[in-house]
Structures are given as structure tokens and as C-alpha cells.
Chain A
């Protein structure tokens, strides 16, 4: 199958305008006859649902939390990028585009990334109008800070709670549409199957998590804005309920998956302290603006970090990457940390951490200034670890964080199933092999506020003439039976091990073999191990409780999908015989440990097609064409 990204012809800078000028429209009177299902109420889902409802479409919005406001976008701390050039420091749409393409290690589409940068300024306008309290200077103008991987200040922020504030803006817009009767929200609902009729997405099967009822919902288009799947590693910066089920089940219905193994490990997370741990909390990368990263120069140093004198500290990022120093991009920073930890220079009880030190910043700017910028992060650190980071360095470590991979989408954010759209972290589109900090809140918002409200109506325009599919169509019956049969299997499981056990085992395996670095050997081993684990899951799983409110049952469904997705991640990593961005293949590195990309053979986006249970997936390739930038070695030295 030839993948067509449907990128409009013409100059890079004109493509999006051209698309909008020619997109099909739906007459206002006809819009309410068209139903759209939006799964997910994070920034991507809530903004898309609200914006479509404002236009007059009938929208159903789903999330698994008890309120739409709790989607994991809420946890983003650092900020959101926009090329406003308010700092007059040389920023522009082109520069933001270039930074993002380069940050992604030249593995993303030019046209998508350019559009992201183009729409960024408008997002700040939208958020401010909604009441998002972004930081301001004393004159009343918006303030900015800089973030990893760039040399301009283009990051807008609301203390350390930018995601929360942006999400509340989108959530409130959604609630407004709900009060107007344009949106119906279904909270505590989990999508468990996509319904496809004559090759087009026509609805979903969802489970009401309060009653256990299996429900059918029909629509003219389905949007998946279900977030990232970093939780596949169990220990991650994601929320406990984050999952791949919606996109994975869509994948099994024909939607291709791309860049599946491109997972970003965030360099500034709290290290694991013990076996019981359920998550690795992120400390915003913005801390790297003022914190300096170091480890002891000598290995196995038993002293407390605060007792190690200045000359015995190795500020390895400043040493190796003088141009970007502590603000080097995430993949580079994480790998550099792993390299030092593996060399025995790690600190902390499990020797699995590096220091993030604020003493210089406090000396230069005063404690009050640091407090104003980061107080909530310092408080959070103390709550979790019981340590006061104004007095001694924070201990941090890389953790699984963001999935650049996801459902393949074309320029319109439509998957390979017509009528099925994927927005936000759930798609693969804009970040290539590595995402720049503060670009993903942006992407989720741009997808939902500014892109989908043009591209979905363009699709819906033809739906008006099509025959309306209702929930008594046999495809719904069939999908419902599949879901019910799986739930019954879980409830009748006779093993002894909990769903969490399998999740943790899979996570550990992926950390070791398909994590910050991978090799042919580790990946081949991982594939064998995962197959075994999947067999064991079939026989040894134990689910207690009934078919109504049952968190164990919910977990089983998520883990079953992770066990398939994990394997595809390994295949994706195995077949990409190069190092790029977050994907570091040990076989492909320079003598001093830098990634070696192979543009000759791998300048493409992988797109995997499900071929049925037990069969190997088929790899399709979308070639990446660079007409506006030159492929360069990505250096931050």
C-alpha cells in the first residue's frame, strides 16, 4: 500500500493557508446532523470537541477519569512554545520550524512541523482569551523562558502548572458547550473497540466503568485523542490509567502505527527508590534553566553529594555540549546521564541518579527568585523524598515519558482508516524521533483547536450524502461481542498473578532491552521474552471482583494491549538500523558515543500494518522528503 500523506502542493509557508482555502465546508444548518465522537479530554480532545461543537456539530466526548479536567495534560509543568518573538531575540516561524525538525533528528514531515510553528502564536491568543494566567512581566506583558534544545526564549508558562492551566481553559470551553447542549460528555467510560463499516470509522464500543455496561456509540467520524503510551514501561511519568488500548484496538482494525519505538526518556525525573514504586515523577525541565547537572568525577563515590567539593564534580553536559550545556535536548541529556550512571558515577541509594544543583543560581539570584520560579517543584520534591532542595542538590534520573510514535496520520490528521482521526500524543506526526520540550502541549492544542476543526469538516462534508449508520448495524454487534468475550475471559481467569505483575515485568523488560539504548541482541531477546510473557498472561492471570466497578478488570484490558504493543516496539526498533533521536542503537554510534543516523537507508517513517494475531506485522514506509532544510548532523556541541 502506498501511503499518501496528502501534503498540499506549493511553498512550505503557503501549504496550510492553501489547504484551508480549499477545504470543503458544511452548511451551518446541516452541522448538527453530523455526529462526531471524540475519545479523550486532554488538550487535544477537549479543544477539538469544544471547537467542533462551537461550529455546530453534535459531539460526544469520552474519558476514563471521573471528570474531563483530569486528563494527563493536567500534569505538564514547564510550558508551551510559541513563535511570538516577544523577546525580540530572533525567533520566527521558520526558526521554530527548523529547531523542531532538527530536534526531531530529521525524522518528521516538513509540512506538519511548519504548520505547528505557524499556528503556535494563535494558541497563545486563544489561551489568554480563555483566562489562562500565563506569567507576566511587571509591565503587564507576557513573559517567556527558554527550554531545552533551542537558543531563543519562546516558552510561555503558568508557574509550574502550565498543562493544568491550559487544560482548564480547554475543559471550561468544553463545559460551556455541554451547558449549551452541543456536547455530551461520557466520563468514566473506556473505549474498547472501534467500529468500522465499509472501511470507514463509524463508531466505538465503550464500557461504562461505573456500571460495567457495554455501550454502542455511532458517529460520522471518530477522533482518538487518547494520549501517549509511555506507561507501557510501567514506571514512567504518566498517570496510572494512561493506556494504548484505544489506538491499539484501532490499529488492529486497520490503522497503521508509526515510529512505535520512539519513546522519549525525560532526563529530570525522580529516581526509583524501591520495588513498590508505581511512578517516576517528573521534575520540570525548566529547572535546567537554573540547575546545573553533575556527578562525582570518581566512580563509586560514597560521600553525600553536598559534601563533594566543586573540583571533584563533573558537570558532564557543560563539558560535552558547551553550546547548549544543561539545556541540551532530552535524548542527549538522558543518554549522557545513563552513560555516567553506567560508568558507576551515579548517586543516591540505588546509584541510579545524577545531581541537579541550584546552589549557584541561589547564590546569584537569591533564594526568593528561585522560589518564585519553582516553588511548587521544590515543595513536590520535598513531599516525595523528604529532602529540601534549596539546601542540597536534587537527585534526578531519566524516565520513560513521551511517545513520539503513535497512529500514522496524514496531513489532515486522518489515519489509514477513513473517518478515524488521531490527535495529540496519540498520533506520530510532528516530533520525529525526539520531541523538544514545550512542543507537545502546543501540538495537542494546535491539533485540536486549529487543525482538526478544518480537516474534520472537510471529511464530514461528504458524509452528509452517505447513509447514516446506526448502532443496530451488524458491525456494532460483532464489535460488542468481541469486547464482551474478552472481559468474560478475564473474569474467568484462574491463575494466581495480578495484572500489575505482568505490567511491571513487561516494563522492566522494555527498560532493559528497548529503552534508552537498544541493540539487535537485546531486541531479539525482548521479542522472545514478550511472547513468553504473553503466554503466561493467558494462563496465569488472576482477576478478582465482578463485571461492574472493577479496576483489576480495567488493568487487564490495558496490559493485554501493552503486551502486543511492546512487541511491535521491539520490531520497530530492530528494523531501524540507525541511531536517531531517542532511538539509540548501540551498533550505530561514533567512537565517542554520539548517535549515527543513516539518511541513505532510513529517511522514512515506519508504518506498521496489523496482520492478525500471531502473524508478523507488515512494515510500510513513508519516505521523508526535505525540500527546505538540509539534512545535517545534529550537533549540540
Chain B
């Protein structure tokens, strides 16, 4: 198929960017969206032009490094799918596709479609862990965890940290990302001891990074590649209030 692409080009965070038009031929329906951009870049190299910079690595929906706004939607038209897992069979010959970076004040643009998501790492540094140093742990089966609790913790732990939730949210809130980690660890017996400090510190860091507040539009859940539930945000608020009330 033949496509018209309108792609955001921006040299650096400090410089203005703009949409630039490209025509691309010979796109096959079996291509992934990123393979389509590979094809475009191949033609740009042929013409001696700088390629479109974008983030990606695993190309199987798990590393969380890819992510673009495609026709105004984070990761494109399919719900719960990463950009790398989106295939061109979702488009048709003659389509015009708008491609932009994930936008949020806390995710500065690096170049073109590449963004800086290091804020997420700092939110985790604020408490998104269980303090268990190497060598300390007891025998694994001495901590019994019911099947259902494990499965629920897994559902939250599955987050890939791609940032689609932030990009989709009109407030650029990182509530889904942060709450997923809080739930994962708060549900497990191993994680309960540090739960109160964890939630307070992570929420504070989230705000310090410049992520917005959650106003419960639930837009994030639809785009989340791992279908992380917005109910975790409710749990985060619960854990947060509990932490403040119980504070010794």
C-alpha cells in the first residue's frame, strides 16, 4: 500500500519542531508499524537525509521502549497494544497517518519521536522496591501467598513502563504507572512492611517530576499494553490515606 505520513521532526528539546510530510510506497500489511518506519528510514538514508529517530528495542511488546502517538492515540488505533505490536493490516492503502512523540512536561523530547522517560526510574527509586539484599532471604515456601493474591499482584506487576498512560492522560498523570507498582508490592506479604513509606515517597516523587494529577477519566487503562486496571489508582489513594492516618 501507499501511505502519506506526517511525522514530528525536532532536532533537540531546546529547538522548535514541526510536522513533515513523507510519501511511502510498498508498505505490506504484514509489516509492523516500526518496520514501516524502518522502510521510511531506509529511503531517507538513500536520499542522504537524517532518519526519523524513534525508541524501540525488543519489538515484542515487553521492554516498553517503543511508543508514539499515532493519529492522536498512544500506540495507535488498537487498544492495549504497543507500537511495535501494531501491524500495518490495521491501515489501508491511501491512509494519512499522523505520527508524534508521547507528549508530557515530564517526558521532554530528545529528538523527533524519542523522549526522556527517566522520571519513571526516579519514581521507582523513591520506594518501588522491597528492601531485600542479596543473601538475606528465607526459604521461598516459608512465605505462603494464595494463588489469587499472586495473580492479582502479577496483574499489577506486568506494567512495562512505556508511558502510554501518561501520554494519553489529559493531565499527564503517572498515576497508573505509580499505582501499579504500589499495588504489586502492597498485596504481597513481603512488601507490606514498607508499604506506608513507599506510597508516600513514590507519590511525592511523582509530583516532583511534574506529572499531573489523576482526575479519573480512565483513558489510560484503554491504552495500557498490559491492561493495567485503574482500580490500582484507587488502591494507591487508599494506601496513601492509610499511610497518613497511621503515621506514627
Which residues does A use to contact B, with CB under 8 Å?
A: 47, 50-51, 54, 65-70, 72, 74-75, 84, 86, 124-131, 133-142, 158-159, 161, 164-165, 168, 171-173, 175-176, 178-179, 185, 187, 210, 239-241, 273-274, 276-279, 281-282, 380, 383-384, 386, 449-450, 453, 496, 498, 500-501, 542-546, 548-552
Contact = CB atoms under 8 A, between A and B. Distances in A.
B128 A175 contact: yes
Contacts, number: 222
B60 interface: yes
B137 A210 contact: no
A482 B134 CA distance: 39
Contacts of A384: 32, 85, 87
A131 B51 CA distance: 41
B190 A131 contact: yes
30 contacts: A47-B134, A51-B133, A51-B134, A66-B65, A66-B117, A66-B118, A70-B57, A72-B57, A124-B140, A125-B140, A128-B143, A128-B190, A133-B188, A136-B145, A142-B140, A142-B141, A172-B129, A173-B129, A175-B129, A185-B121, A210-B116, A278-B32, A278-B35, A383-B87, A384-B32, A384-B85, A500-B38, A548-B12, A549-B53, A550-B50
Given A67-B161, A164-B62, A380 B85 contact: yes
Interface stretch (B93-101, B151-159, B236-244): B151-159
B60 A69 contact: no
B130 interface: yes
Contacts of B116: 66, 210
Nearest to A501: B42
Interface string B9-30: 0001000000000000000101
A161 B138 contact: no
Nearest to A132: B157
B44 to A, nearest CB: 7
Nearest to B81: A383
B48 interface: yes
Given A130-B130, A384-B87, A500-B42, A67 B140 contact: no
A508 B214 CA distance: 50
Given A74-B62, A75-B63, A210 B138 contact: no
Contact of A129 (B60, B138, B157): B138
B175 interface: no
Given A165-B157, A500-B38, A544 B45 contact: yes
B57 A69 contact: no
Nearest to A71: B63
A386 B87 contact: yes
Given A51-B134, A131-B184, A239-B58, A172 B124 contact: yes
Given A131-B130, A133-B157, A545-B50, A70 B85 contact: no
Interface of B: 12, 28, 30-32, 34-35, 38-39, 41-42, 44-46, 48-51, 53, 55-65, 78, 81, 85, 87, 89, 110-111, 114, 116-118, 120-121, 124-126, 128-134, 136-141, 143-147, 150-151, 153-154, 157-158, 160-161, 184-185, 188, 190-191
Contacts of B65: 65-67, 70
Contact of A498 (B32, B45, B157): B45
B124 to A, nearest CB: 5
A496 B47 CA distance: 9
A143 to B, nearest CB: 8
Given A133-B184, A542-B46, 13 more contacts: A47-B134, A75-B63, A125-B138, A141-B144, A165-B157, A176-B129, A239-B59, A274-B31, A278-B35, A281-B59, A380-B60, A384-B32, A496-B46
Contact of B30 (A140, A178, A276): A276
Contact of A140 (B38, B50, B147, B154): B147
B102 to A, nearest CB: 12
Contacts of B44: 544
Given A136-B150, A164-B158, A276 B130 contact: no
A384 to B, nearest CB: 7
Contacts of A124: 140
B154 A175 contact: no
Contacts of A128: 137, 140, 143, 190
A187 B63 CA distance: 14
Contacts of A210: 110, 116
B61 A383 contact: yes
Contact of B132 (A126, A138, A500): A126
Contacts of A136: 145-147, 150
Name the 10 nearest CB pairs between A and B, nearest first.
Answer: A140-B144, A129-B137, A172-B129, A129-B132, A179-B125, A545-B50, A133-B154, A51-B134, A70-B63, A128-B140
B51 A551 contact: yes
Given A124-B140, A129-B137, A133-B153, A69 B129 contact: no
B58 A72 contact: yes
Contacts of A127: 140
Given A239-B57, A496-B46, A549 B114 contact: yes
B57 to A, nearest CB: 4
A546 B35 contact: no
Contacts of A138: 146-147
Contacts of B154: 133, 158-159, 165
A544 B50 contact: yes
Contacts of A546: 50
Contacts of B184: 131, 133
A239 B50 CA distance: 23
